[in-house]
Amino acid sequence: MRTVCIIQARLSSRRLPAKVLADIGGKPMLERVLDRVAQAQTLDKVVVATSTDPSDDRLADHCRRSGIPHHRGPLHDVLGRFVTAARHERADVVVRITADCPLIDPILIDAVVALRARRGTDYASNVMSRRFPRGLDIEAFTAAALFRADREAREPHQREHVTPFLYEDPGRFSLASLIGQDDLGGHRWTVDTPEDLSLARALYERLANPSAGWRDVLALIEREPALSAINAHVEQKATRAA
């Protein structure tokens, strides 16, 4: 089974444009994500999926200059973009990561991939029952399920957010959930606003090892609770249709 991680990235974020190329500790955020994902043991290939829109030309140029494998597809039909990348890479299993998660943990990636394989499900994630901090989001699903979603998904949010079609109807696909022991879903480690970026930069400044795992990040925040106040007021954008 060929497992391909597809990292979703664009520059036209409304709340923080060009965030995936923002500097965090001397590297663009995208490369922080790539460095961490590359440590996962269960992945055969890691690629970036961006859009063909001119707004993403700079991102595609960065990938080319840096030797980062990438594919380009529709700007808003991100589901279609994933299908293009998955077909080109001959993926049997796809792992979805977004490029605004600079603290993504390779151990959790391996855990989600292993859970899906062990259970033999169409889809597995650590997001259906949110007990991990936001920004550690990992989804693994079969290419067959992805291709069916591409054929059948019609709602705009299903195509923009890639995976809702897979889990919105629990009877449609078989699902598995990695559930954290403690309820840490109130922590926000993703980057979608200037405040989120400030927190990510502050964490990287304090981490002795830039590849530190999520438990080390949590320990740092527990020692310095003022860090969480940096972006405590930020509201998460809705994923599902209103």
Residue 222: band (very low, low, confident or very high) from pLDDT cuts 50, 70, 90 = very high
The structure's pTM equals 0.95
182 CB-near residues (< 8 Å, 6+ apart):
131
Give 61-98 pLDDT, tens digit per residue: 999 999 999 999 999 999 999 999 999 999 999 999 99
Q: Which domains does the chain have, with CATH numbers?
A: 3-186 (3.90.550.10)
Give 12-69 pLDDT, tens digit per residue: 999 999 999 999 999 999 999 999 999 999 999 999 999 999 999 999 999 999 999 9
Strand partners, 6: 47, 96
Q: Is the pLDDT of residue 229 over 90?
A: yes
Q: In angstroms, rounded to a whole number, what is the distance separating the alpha carbons of residues 231 and 89?
A: 37
211 CB-near residues (< 8 Å, 6+ apart):
35, 36, 39
